[in-house]
């Protein structure tokens, strides 16, 4: 597995960094770490660096690792996994080297050195790693992560330690929201109580009301017609005409009364009954008698006598009539 | 420099033009009733809409854009009402069980408390109609009021009648112009359910006996589509698919004294057509108080009024009023509390 992937990759993209460490000319800086390019980098350089630089690297690595103490354990794990792969990798390297037909000895030496170094690194220092190995390790780790099928959880990827807590929190939120929603709904219901959307058509009741209203309007319009017909062609500002108008108005009004005796009767009856009641309970019905209404003189004595009503309430008649017979 | 000089210029403040509304009708000399529509307590959205609908209904003699604050109490409104000549208060309030409408006569008139069993907003009504109608000058004149079914001799009903009759300016049939009669408010008392149906219609007049096409032609000013006709005379003679409500009953037709618009001539008969423009309410009279949201209870739908009245006479405080109302309903309590606040302040 490892071999195949490793072999195939350089053929595909020799320019890629992670692969280029074997054949590419880019690796001028890397030989320090990799020691795999003896043709370009100095042969002895790596060994020299080994001693001095290793310490430096270790030191750096230690410093680096010391920072995140918690992460240490996590870091160890993938490394141990990769060690198996590393073995295979190195063997393949050696084979390749042989095939390449470079100086066997040197290559072997280097390879050996690399191995020993690697071992040392693995055992002593977890922080130091060959670049290729790092790449490889990362690749493996990444692959394993990608391969891993994550169960479809509503919570999403959460650290296991927090999983329970988050779930609890979410559940709590959910219930809270539910309660809130219900409360809101209830409130809305209370607010909308009595609010009715009217129907698209006229039902019998609406039709009846419409008829009543129409009747009222017709009555008023007819009354207005009659009253205004009487004073047609006369100028109310002239005193002579004014007198005539007054007379005609009276006539028209009385004729109107005579025509609708029901109306007159009703108003009369109303007046009598109301006056009788007022006499009976006088103070209890005070506001009716006192001038609690508009202070206009016309409305003041609305319950006194039918005759006065007739005389005074010219303006009100239409409304009264419409109100009384329905 | 320019900056400094500009500093001198004071910003232009538009002078507030007070449109003086006459307190007294210039023809009849009657005092014109004016009204405030406002709410007591916090109202939910739909009721706030109802409040604005009611304000529109009460136009033109009402404060359409009355701004109220939470801390405004009844006394504040009362203080404003005096100088402005406001004679009626319409107060909306809301409790757990229902919404309430109180109609009060200022400054010390009786207060009628209605329970709003059902209501529909003007928007709802318009939505329910195929062609809602709202001409421009619809709200320029006060509505007519028609009260029907109230005349069975009960005192509280009589009081209600008088109250509502006086809420709008009285019309003098000798001088009134029919073109100013655009709206009608109908209050229909149902004896069986003891509820009052509150409806608001717009009045439209249509000439009778004219084909729909001609009517539309005269009304709309638009060139008619004559493509399908052989001759111009067809346009007049062809019956077309006139609306079948054309066959109006004679009861709904009137003869006008003067021309009304271009369509309704004095010589022809016109049909009265009503179309509803919200709001729509079903009210129930539950209480009448002597004072403005206080004082003795003259009438109460629930329980006898006498006991309460005595209590109120003894201690003219609203707390007592609240106690007295306890047996009626919980809403009564809040109402009286409102009044109580005012009194204390």
> Which residues fall within 8 angstroms of residue B105, CB to CB, at 6 or more apart?
A292, A293, B87, B88, B89, B111, B163, B166, B292
Q: Say whether pLDDT at A174 is over 90.
A: yes
With beta carbons less than 8 A apart as the criterion, state whether A37 and A27 touch: yes
Q: Say whether pLDDT at A237 is over 90.
A: no
Mutate to test the interface with B, among A227, A281, A293, A306 (most CBs of B within 10 A): A293
> What token pair was written down for A12?
């595909």
Instruction: Report the C-alpha gap between A276 and A269 in whole angstroms.
Output: 11
Instruction: Report the C-alpha gap between B296 and B311 in whole angstroms.
Output: 8
With beta carbons less than 8 A apart as the criterion, state whether B123 and B140 touch: no
Q: Which of B148, B159, B166 sits opposite A323 (nearest CB)?
A: B148
Confidence of residue A155 (pLDDT cuts 50, 70, 90): low
With beta carbons less than 8 A apart as the criterion, state whether B177 and B215 touch: no
Tokens 């009903």 locate to B157
Q: How far is CA A105 from the centre of its chain?
A: 71
Confidence (pLDDT) at A178? 95
| A173 against B222, higher pLDDT | A173
- Chain B residues in contact with A204 by the CB 8 A cut-off are none
CA A311 to chain B, closest CA, distance in angstroms equals 13
Indicate if the alpha-carbon torsion angle B41, B44, B46, B52 is positive or negative.
Answer: positive
- Chain A residues in contact with B201 by the CB 8 A cut-off are 210, 213
Confidence of residue B310 (pLDDT cuts 50, 70, 90): very low
CA B254 to chain A, closest CA, distance in angstroms equals 6
Q: Tell me if A277 and B155 make a contact (CB, 8 A cut-off).
A: yes
What number is the ipTM of this complex? 0.74
- Chain A residues in contact with B170 by the CB 8 A cut-off are 296, 298-299, 315-316, 319
pLDDT tens track for B137-164: 888 888 888 888 887 777 888 888 888 8
Q: Tell me if B255 and A286 make a contact (CB, 8 A cut-off).
A: no
Q: Tell me if A192 and B44 make a contact (CB, 8 A cut-off).
A: yes
Where b means 16+ CB within 10 Å and e means fewer, A171-186 reads: eeeeeeeeeeeeeeee
Per the prediction, chain B carries an average pLDDT of 75
**Percent of residues, chain B, with pLDDT higher than 70:** 73
Asked if CATH classification 3.40.50.10480 holds for the domain at B34-205+277-302, the reply, yes or no, is yes
Q: Which residues pair with B280 in a beta bridge?
A: B120
- Chain A residues in contact with B120 by the CB 8 A cut-off are 195-198
> Which residues fall within 8 angstroms of residue B212, CB to CB, at 6 or more apart?
B240, B241, B242, B243, B246
């Amino acid at each position: 597995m490892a071999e195949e992937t490793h072999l195939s990759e350089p053929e595909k993209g020799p320019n890629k960094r992670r692969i280029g460490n074997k054949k590419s000319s880019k690796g001028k800086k890397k030989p320090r770490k990799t020691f795999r390019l003896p043709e370009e980098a100095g042969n002895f350089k790596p060994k020299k660096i080994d001693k001095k630089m290793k310490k430096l690297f270790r030191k750096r690595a230690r410093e680096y690792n010391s920072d995140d103490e918690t992460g240490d354990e996590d870091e160890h794990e993938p490394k141990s996994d990769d060690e198996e792969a590393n073995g295979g990798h190195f063997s393949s390297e050696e084979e390749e080297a042989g095939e390449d037909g470079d100086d066997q000895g040197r290559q072997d030496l280097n390879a050996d050195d690399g191995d020993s170094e690697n071992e040392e690194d693995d055992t002593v220092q977890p922080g130091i790693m060959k670049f290729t190995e790092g790449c490889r390790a990362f690749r493996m780790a990444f692959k394993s992560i990608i391969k891993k099928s994550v169960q479809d959880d509503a919570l999403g990827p959460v650290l296991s330690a927090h999983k329970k807590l988050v779930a609890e929190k979410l559940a709590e939120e959910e219930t809270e929201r539910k309660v809130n929603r219900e409360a809101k709904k209830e409130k809305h219901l209370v607010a909308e109580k009595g609010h009715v959307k009217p129907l698209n058509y006229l039902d019998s009741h609406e039709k009846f009301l419409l008829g009543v209203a129409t009747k009222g309007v017709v009555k008023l319009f007819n009354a207005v017609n009659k009253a205004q017909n009487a004073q047609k062609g006369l100028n109310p500002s002239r005193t002579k005409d004014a007198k005539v108008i007054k007379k005609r108005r009276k006539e028209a009004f009385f004729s109107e009364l005579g025509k609708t005796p029901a109306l007159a009767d009703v108003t009369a009856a109303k007046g009598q009954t109301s006056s009788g009641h007022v006499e009976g309970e006088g103070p209890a019905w005070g506001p009716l008698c006192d001038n609690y209404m508009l202070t206009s003189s016309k409305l003041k004595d609305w319950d006194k006598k039918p005759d006065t009503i007739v005389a005074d309430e010219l303006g009100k008649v239409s409304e009264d009539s419409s109100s009384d017979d329905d | 420099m320019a900056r400094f000089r500009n500093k001198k210029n004071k910003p232009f403040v538009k002078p507030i033009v007070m449109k003086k509304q006459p307190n007294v009708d210039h023809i009849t000399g009657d005092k014109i009733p004016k009204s405030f529509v406002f709410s007591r307590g916090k109202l939910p959205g739909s009721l706030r809409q109802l409040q604005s609908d009611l304000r529109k209904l009460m136009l033109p003699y009402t404060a359409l854009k009355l701004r109220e604050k939470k801390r405004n109490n009844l006394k504040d409104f009362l203080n404003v009402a005096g100088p402005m000549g406001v004679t009626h208060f319409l107060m909306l309030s809301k409790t757990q069980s229902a919404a309430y409408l109180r109609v009060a006569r200022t400054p010390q008139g009786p207060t009628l408390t209605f329970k709003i069993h059902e209501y529909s907003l003007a928007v709802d009504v318009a939505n329910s109609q195929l062609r809602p109608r709202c001409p421009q000058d619809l709200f320029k004149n006060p509505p007519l009021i028609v009260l029907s079914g109230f005349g069975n001799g009960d005192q509280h009903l009589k009081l209600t009648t008088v109250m509502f009759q006086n809420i709008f300016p009285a019309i003098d049939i000798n001088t009134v112009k029919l073109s100013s009669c655009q709206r009608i408010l109908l209050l229909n008392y149902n004896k069986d359910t003891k509820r009052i149906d509150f409806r608001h219609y717009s009045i439209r007049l249509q000439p009778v006996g004219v084909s729909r096409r001609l009517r539309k032609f005269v009304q709309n000013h638009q060139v008619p589509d004559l493509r399908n006709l052989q001759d111009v005379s067809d346009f007049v003679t062809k019956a077309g698919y006139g609306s079948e409500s054309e066959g109006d009953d004679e009861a709904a037709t009137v003869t006008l004294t003067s021309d009304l618009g271009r369509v309704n001539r004095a010589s022809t008969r016109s049909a009265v057509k009503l179309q509803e423009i919200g709001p729509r309410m079903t009210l129930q009279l539950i209480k009448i108080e002597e004072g403005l949201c206080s004082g003795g209870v003259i009438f109460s739908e629930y329980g006898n009024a006498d006991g309460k009245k005595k209590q109120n006479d003894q201690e003219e405080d609203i707390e007592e009023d609240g106690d007295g109302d306890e047996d009626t309903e919980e809403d009564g309590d809040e109402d009286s509390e409102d009044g109580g606040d005012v009194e204390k302040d």
